[in-house]
Amino acid sequence: MYWKYVVRRAIYGIMMYIVMIFVFSTLFNSVADSTMRSQIDEQVAQESLGWKNLTPDQRDAKLASRRADKIRQYHLDDPLPSRIFFRSIRTLTFDFGNSTTIKASNGDRLVIGIIGEALPRTIVLFTTEVALVTIVGVAMGLYAGRKPNGLLDRTVSMLTMITNGLPAWWLAMLAIMAFAYNIPIFPSGGLHINPAPTGFAGILDYLWHLSLPLLTLFFLGVWGTAYLVRNIVLSNLQEDFVMAARARGVGESKVLFGHTLRTSMPAIMTLAILGLFSSIAGNIIVEGIFNWPGIGNLYFEAVQQNDVPILMSTLAIETLLTMVGFVILDIVYGFLDPRIKVGGTA
Amino acid sequence: MKKIRAFALVAALATLGLGAQVKGPIVDKILIDAKTSEDIAIKDVAAGKSDLFDYGSSGAVYKGLPDDIRAKLDPYAVTGALYNDLYMNPYPNKAPYTATSKDGKVQFNPFAIREVRFAMNFLINRKKIIDEILVGAGQPMFTPVVPGQPNSSKFGLEASKLGFTANGNEAKALADIDAALQKAAAADPKLVKNGQWWNYGGDPVTVNFLIRVDDPSLRVPMGRYIADEIEKAGIKVNRLEYDRAKCTAIWYKSDPADYQWTLYTDAWGGGQTYAFWDGSIAQMYAPWYSFMPGGGKAGQWQYENADLDSLTQACVNGRVKDSAEYYDKLMKATDIGLQEALRVFICATTSYTPAAKDRFNSRMLWGSGDGINNFSLYSADVKPDTTGQFKGEKVLRLSEFSSKGALFMSAWDPIGPDGFGDTYSSVVIKNVSDQEYMANPITGLPFPASGSWSNVKTGAIDWSKTPAVGSIAVPASAVLWNTKDQKWESGINYVDVKGDGSTYDYVKVDPGKNTAWSEATYTYKFGRWHDGRDIDINDYRYAMARPYDLSYKHGDNDKVYEESYASAINPNLPRVKGVVFNKNNTITVYGDANYPMDQATLATLLMPSLMIEASNYGDILPWTVHEALKTMVAEGSASKTQWVFNSNGDLSEVDLLSQACTSDILAKMQELAAKKAVPPALVGYLTPAQAVSAYEKSIAFIQKHGHAVISNGGFVIDKYDSKNNTMVLTAFRDPRYPFPKGWFTKELSTTYLRIDGIKVGTFSKGKDLTVSATLNDIAFPAGTAKATTKADVKVIIVAGKDIVAAGKITKAGTAEATFKAGELAGLKAGGSYTVIVEAGSAVDTANLIVF
C-alpha cells in the first residue's frame, strides 16, 4: 500500500533526524568543551592586563571569579553527558533556548529570534535564486535539448563550463568590481543604504541591494541547471515512446512538454526540491562578499564564537528541511511518473 | 559709571564671542555600517562609498592592493597593534633538563637550559622575518615594549646592551647552543652528539613546536623558519601546525611538566598607547602575573622567579619612592626577563587603516598604539556633502569589519564586566561618553579633559606595614558612602578584611587617626547630559556611591549586589579613604595610591568619575538610567523579562541599545518618576521635584531616540538600526558641552623627532670614527617631515664600558658625533658593536664592525 510506504518513509526520516541531532550534540558539546575552557582562560588573561594595583592574592581571586563567571555563562559547569542529552532533547522539541553570545537585532538572545532574522534574508536571496534558476534553467534546457548543437545548446554548454569551473566568490567579486565600482549601478553590498529609508522607498532600496547578489547567483546557477535538464531531455528524446509519439504525428510542443518533460520530471524535481531546501543554508562566502547577513553568516559566526545553541539549531533546522525534502520527493515521484510505484505492489 | 559701561560692553562682547563658539566635534554626523568582507570594504573607501574603514589590514593585504586603489587611500599605519614572540617551556628549568611525558618517555628539553633559550635571540634573524614575511610591514622587537611607543627606547637599550640586533648572529647562536649542550652532556652521559644531531638515550633530541596554522601569513612561515634554524643546532623539531583551539589547549592548559609542547608561536594585541610599561614587563616575564608556564594554576609545575616577582610587583603597585627607583627596578626586571628568555620577542607588525584621501580636509588624530580611536572621530574633518539628505553637512561614513555583519558583538551593559567589551562598542561609546581625563594618543600620559586636578600630594608611606600606611591626615569631614546604612558617613574605611581579596567590609576608624598615602582636589567642567539636563556635583556624588551598592553583599537575598561587578571593582574601592565635597563644587579625595613616576597618573588613580562600570570601556550614564536599571534588575521589569548584569546562559543581559531592554528601562523610569523617587545617595541633596524633572528629560530622550544611551560626549546616538546594522551619530552642539570644535586637534597636535637613518661608516683601529644620523621633525597628525635644526644628540657605542660622544646638528636634518681614535682603542678588531643614537626622545641603533 502506498500510504504505508509514506508512513514508513516518514518514520524512517524522523528516526534518522533524532540520531543526527544526538550526533551533532555530542560533537559540538565535546569539542566546544575543551575549546571553550581554553578560550575562557585566554580571554580572562587578556582582560586581566587592564587590572592595576592588585596584590597577587587579589589578582588570583579576581582571575578565579572571572573564570567562574564565564564557565557558568557557557554552562561548562554542567556535566558533559547532561549537556549532550538535554541539548538534544531541547533541540528535538524545538526549544532552542538562548544563544551563548550572539544576539538578535532587538538584543534578545532567543535562538529562534536570531534564526528568524537571518532566515528570511537567506530565503529572499537564495531560495528566490533557486526558484528562478529552476524555472529559467528548465526552459532553457528543454529548448537546448530539442536542438542539439544549436546556438542555445552551445551557449549553455560553454557557459556551464565557465561558471562551474570558476569559484563563485571570484565571479561575485568580478560582478562587484564591474557593477559597483566600474559601472556603479548597484551597491557593493548590504541590505540598505545608511540611514535606511522607510516605506516604499525602503522596499525599492532593498530590491536595489538584492539585485546584484541575486543576478550574480542566477548567472552562476542557471547554466548548470539548463545543461543538466538538456542532457535529461536529450536522453528522453531518444526513447521509443517519444519516437512513437512523433511517428503518430504528435506535435513537437506536445512531445516536448507532454511526453519528454513529464518523463524527465522526477530528475528535475529532485534537483529543484533539494535545491530549494538546501538554499536555506545560505552560502557563507557569497553572503560575506555581498555583506548579506543570512544563515550562512550566522553559522560562520556561531562557529567562531562556539555558540553551540545556534550551531545546533541552524543545523537541526537545515537537517529537518532536507529530510522533509527527501520524504516529499519520495512521495511525489509516484505522481510524476506513472512508471514509478515506489513501495507499491506489482 | 563709565567703567561699569565698559565692563558691560566687554562682558557682552565676550558672551557673544562665546556664544558664537561652536561646540562639539568637527563633523556633523557619523554614519556607521558593518562590512563582512575586508576586500570590498577597502574598495568601497577607494571608490568614495565610505570614508573610513576602521580595521587595520596587514601589510600583505594593503601592499597587495592595485596601485590605482592605493592611490585613493590615506592609510593610518600603526606598528605594534599586534606583536609576536617565541614562548618556551622551560621545564624543569634545571639540570638534568629532562621531562617525562604522559606516556612515560623521558625526553631531554634543550630549552630548559637558559643559555639555549637566550641564544634564540641571536639565532632568529628578525629582519629577515620582517622583510620576507611581513613584506616590510613591521619592526623588530626585543622586549615586551612595543618599538616606537613612548619610553620604548629605554627598554631597547637594555636589549642593545646584550648585543641583540635585528639581523641576529647565527654563528654565535649555534656556538652558544652547542656549548650549552656540550656542558649538559658532560653531566649527563645519555646526551651525546651523533653526527649532526643531538641524541638522548639513543633517540634524537626532539622538541614539539606549536605553530598556529590559522595565521598563514605570519606565524606559519615564521614558525617554519625558526624550526629550520633550530635544526641547524642539531635539535629535531616536530612541527605541530595546529589551530588556535588546539594550540591553546596544549600550551595554555597543559601542565608544563607533561612536556606536551616546547615552543609556541605566541602573539599579542598592543591595544593602546602606553607611557609606562610595568604591566607589560610583569605580564610577559613575571610568574605572579599568571602568564608564565604554569600560569599560577594549582597542581601544575610553575616557573618561579622571586626577583622578577618582587621587582615587578613594586613597580605595578607603586611601591617605589620615586621615578628613579621605579626605572631601576623595571630595568632590572627587564634584564632578568631577557636573560631568562622564556619569551623571545620577534616583531611588531604594522597594520593599515584606510581612509579616503580625497574626502578629508586634514588627517585625523590617531593613537600610536591603537590607531583609529575616539580622538580620530573627534578630529575627523571631511568635505561637506554636496547632494542628498545631508547636503551641506560634514558627514563621516565609517565602516566596521564584522564577520557576522553585526555592528556590536557585546551587550551595552554598563555594569557587567563583559558589557561594551568588543572593539567597536568601545570605539563608539568613547565618542558618546567623555571621560574626565583622557590619555594622550602619542605620549600615553593622561591629560585633563572635562576634569582637572590640583594640590596632588603624596606623603611619606610606611611600606613595612601591611597594608602600607600613609601619612596624610584624612579630615574628619571626609566621607564615604556607607551602603549598609545607606548614608554618607565619616570615620569609616572600606577594607579588604583578610587581605586576600575574599571579603570586603566597612570598619570604623578614629577620625583623627585616619591617614592616606595621597590626596588631590578635582575641578570639573560639568557640561550637559544628552537629554538636556545640566551635569552637576550630584551626578558625581551618585557615581561615587553606586559602586559600593553593587559591590557590598548585604546578605543572601541582596538583589542589588552584583557578583561579577564586585569581583572587578572591590579591589579598587579600599583605595579611597575619604572624600570631601567642597563648597565650590570641587572634590578632594584622600586615598592609598602612589605613582611617583607621574603626578597626573597618580591624580587619575583617585579621580572621581561619572563612569561607574568596572572594566574601563568608557561608558558614562546619568543616575536616572542607573536607577532604572538597578530597580529593573532587582525588582523585575514591566515585560517580566528577568534582566541581569553580566552575560548569563539563561537570563537576559541588560543592553541599553536593545528595544526590549529600552522599553523596560523606560517603564521603570516612568514608575520612578511617578513615585518621585530620589536615589538614596542623593537624599538631602536633590528634591523630589528635581528628581522627577531629571526622569522626565531622560524619558523624553528615550522616547525620541529609541535607546537608553544617554551620555555626555561629543556625539549623540541619534538612531540605531539594529535590523540593518547601522548607526547614526550626531554632533552634540550644546553650548554647555566643554569642548569647542577642533579643541582636540589643537590640544593634541604636536611635533616629535624621528631618526630616519644612521650612517656608521667603516672603522679601522687607530682612526677617528664619525657617526651621522638623519633627523626629522614629524608633525602629528599631519605626518609631514621637516629636517631637524635643533636637538640634543648623543651617540653611544656599547662595549664593556659604554663609549659616549655628544653629537651636534651639522646641517638641517643631519647630526654628527665623532669619537677620537684613543677613545676607541679598547675595541677589538673583527668585533661587532652596537651603536645607539639618542636624539631627544628618539632612539635608534646600528652596527659597528671594527676592521
Residue of A nearest to B407 (CA): A105
Distance CA A119, CA A316 (A): 13
d(CA A89, nearest CA chain B) in Å: 17
> Grid coordinates 566596521 are at which residue?
B400
Distance CA B636, CA B202 (A): 70
What's the maximum distance between 2 C-alpha atoms anywhere in chain B?
Answer: 107
Residues linked to residue B458 through DSSP beta bridges, in sequence order? B518
Percent of chain B with pLDDT over 70: 97
Q: Count the helix, strand and coil residues of chain A and give each as a percent rounded to the nearest 5.
A: 75, 0, 25
Q: Are B409 and A101 a contacting pair at CB < 8 A? A: yes
What's the Rg (C-alpha) of chain B? 30
Q: Are B593 and A291 a contacting pair at CB < 8 A? A: no
Say whether residue A313 is in contact with chain B using an 8 A CB cutoff: no
Average pLDDT over residues B664-681: 97
Residues 6+ apart with CB under 8 A from B634: B559, B560
Whether the pLDDT of residue B10 is over 70: the answer is: no
> Grid coordinates 518621585 are at which residue?
B676
B282-301 residues touching A, CB cutoff 8 A: 283, 288-291, 295-296
> Grid coordinates 525602503 are at which residue?
A202
Name the residue among A60, A287, A298 with its Cβ closest to that of B296.
A60
ipTM value, please give it. Answer: 0.79
Chain A residues touching residue B34 (CB < 8 angstroms): 291
Residue B396 corresponds to which amino acid? L
CB atoms within 10 A of CB B403: 19
Task: Give the CA angle between residues B211, B217, B222 to the nearest 5°.
Answer: 45
Whether the pLDDT of residue B18 is over 50: the answer is: no
- Which residue, B341, B346, B347, is CA-closest to B111? B341
Q: Are A180 and B47 a contacting pair at CB < 8 A? A: yes
Q: Are B616 and A187 a contacting pair at CB < 8 A? A: no
B553-582 residues touching A, CB cutoff 8 A: 563-564, 567-568, 571-572, 575
Res A71: pLDDT? 83
Whether the pLDDT of residue B54 is over 50: the answer is: yes
Chain B residues touching residue A56 (CB < 8 angstroms): 288, 309, 313
Q: Cis before residue B110, ω within 30 degrees of 0?
A: no
Whether the pLDDT of residue B614 is over 80: the answer is: no
**Neighbour-count burial for B589-619, b at 16+ CB within 10 Å, e otherwise:** bbbbbbbbbbebbbbbbbbbbbbbbbbebbb
Choice between B364 and B273, residue whose per-residue pLDDT is larger: B364
Residues linked to residue B100 through DSSP beta bridges, in sequence order? B106
Say whether residue B27 is in contact with chain A using an 8 A CB cutoff: no
Res A336: pLDDT? 66
Beta pairing, strands B29-35 & B395-401: parallel
Residue B757, helix vs strand vs coil: strand
Orientation angle between helical segments B114-123 and B219-232, nearest 10 degrees: 120
Distance CA B649, CA A102 (A): 11
Distance CA A236, CA A230 (A): 10
Average pLDDT over residues A332-336: 70
* Element housing A332 (H / E): helix A308-336
For B325-382, the pLDDT digits (tens) are 999 999 999 999 999 999 999 999 999 999 999 999 999 999 888 889 889 999 999 9
d(CA B260, nearest CA chain A) in Å: 15
Could you tell me the three cell numbers for B112?
Answer: 630548559
Confidence of residue A271 (pLDDT cuts 50, 70, 90): confident
Task: Give the CA angle between residues A302, A304, A307 to the nearest 5°.
Answer: 35
Distance CA B206, CA B193 (A): 13
Strongest mean pLDDT among A139-148, B239-248, B384-393, B816-825: B384-393
Orientation angle between helical segments A168-176 and A199-237, nearest 10 degrees: 140
Could you tell me the three cell numbers for B562?
Answer: 552584583
Confidence of residue B185 (pLDDT cuts 50, 70, 90): very high
Say whether residue A60 is in contact with chain B using an 8 A CB cutoff: yes
Res A53: pLDDT? 65
Whether the pLDDT of residue B508 is over 90: the answer is: yes
Whether the pLDDT of residue B828 is over 70: the answer is: yes
Average pLDDT over residues A57-64: 79
**Distance between alpha carbon B330 and the CA centroid of its chain, in Å?**
18
Name the residue among B404, B647, B657 with its Cβ closest to that of A301.
B404
Res A334: pLDDT? 66
In degrees and rounded to multiples of 5, residue B439 shows phi and psi of: -95, 130
Distance CA A169, CA B749 (A): 44
* Element housing B630 (H / E): helix B623-635
Residues 6+ apart with CB under 8 A from A152: A140, A143, A144
Residues 6+ apart with CB under 8 A from B822: none
Instruction: Identify the burial level of B668 via C-beta atoms within 10 angstroms of its C-beta, where 0-12 means exposed, 13-18 middle and 19 or more buried.
Output: buried
Say whether residue A300 is in contact with chain B using an 8 A CB cutoff: yes
Instruction: Identify the burial level of B406 via C-beta atoms within 10 angstroms of its C-beta, where 0-12 means exposed, 13-18 middle and 19 or more buried.
Output: buried
Return the residue in B40, B65, B285, B642 with the most chain A beta carbons within 10 A, the one to mutate for interface testing. B40
Say whether residue A7 is in contact with chain B using an 8 A CB cutoff: no
Distance CA B830, CA B851 (A): 5
Residue of B nearest to A98 (CA): B650
Could you tell me the three cell numbers for B590?
Answer: 584622600
> Grid coordinates 575641578 are at which residue?
B523
Say whether residue B422 is in contact with chain A using an 8 A CB cutoff: no
A295 vs A315, A318, B426, CA distance in Å? 10, 10, 27
Residues 6+ apart with CB under 8 A from B839: B753, B755, B773, B775, B788, B791, B792, B793, B794, B807, B815
B643-682 residues touching A, CB cutoff 8 A: 646-650, 652-653, 655, 657-661
Average pLDDT value for chain B: 91
Choice between B101 and B689, residue whose per-residue pLDDT is larger: B689
DSSP state of A178: I
CB atoms within 10 A of CB B127: 16
Say whether residue A99 is in contact with chain B using an 8 A CB cutoff: no
Residue of B nearest to A285 (CA): B37
Residue B657 corresponds to which amino acid? L
Contact of B577 with B518, CB cutoff 8 Å? no
For B473-484, the pLDDT digits (tens) are 999 999 999 999
Name the residue among B575, B649, B723 with its Cβ closest to that of A73.
B649
- Which residue, A313, A288, A290, is CA-closest to A91? A313
Distance CA B306, CA B292 (A): 13
Residues linked to residue B751 through DSSP beta bridges, in sequence order? B779
Residue of A nearest to B278 (CA): A52
Chain B residues touching residue A117 (CB < 8 angstroms): 723
Residue B74, helix vs strand vs coil: strand
Structural domains of chain B, with CATH: 79-349 (3.10.105.10), 429-721 (no CATH), 753-849 (2.60.40.10)
In degrees and rounded to multiples of 5, residue B539 shows phi and psi of: -65, -40
Res B4: pLDDT? 54
Average pLDDT value for chain A: 84
Contact of B283 with B289, CB cutoff 8 Å? yes
Count CA atoms closer than 13 A to B66's CA, side-chain side.
7
Q: Are B37 and A61 a contacting pair at CB < 8 A? A: no
Distance CA B8, CA B3 (A): 8
Orientation angle between helical segments A308-336 and A295-305, nearest 10 degrees: 140
Name the residue among A69, A109, A189 with its Cβ closest to that of B40.
A189
Chain B residues touching residue A32 (CB < 8 angstroms): none
Distance CA A26, CA A32 (A): 10
For A12-56, the pLDDT digits (tens) are 888 989 999 999 888 888 777 777 777 787 778 777 776 766 777
Chain A residues touching residue B661 (CB < 8 angstroms): 107
HEC-encoded secondary structure of B520-553: EEEEECCCECCCCCECCHHHHHHHHHHHHHHHCC
- State whether the Cα torsion B416-B422-B424-B430 is positive or negative: positive
Orientation angle between helical segments B323-340 and B152-161, nearest 10 degrees: 50
Say whether residue B279 is in contact with chain A using an 8 A CB cutoff: yes
> Grid coordinates 575586508 are at which residue?
B38
Could you tell me the three cell numbers for A29?
Answer: 558539546
Task: Measure CA of the first residue to CA of the last residue in chain A; give whole Å.
Answer: 11
Residue A285 corresponds to which amino acid? I
Chain A residues touching residue B499 (CB < 8 angstroms): 55, 57
d(CA B72, nearest CA chain A) in Å: 13
Confidence of residue A251 (pLDDT cuts 50, 70, 90): confident
For B21-44, the pLDDT digits (tens) are 899 999 999 999 999 889 999 999
Residue of A nearest to B39 (CA): A289
Say whether residue A303 is in contact with chain B using an 8 A CB cutoff: no
d(CA B789, nearest CA chain A) in Å: 40
Task: Give the CA angle between residues B553, B559, B565 to the nearest 5°.
Answer: 60
In degrees and rounded to multiples of 5, residue B543 shows phi and psi of: -65, -25
Distance CA B473, CA B275 (A): 31
Could you tell me the three cell numbers for B313?
Answer: 610587583
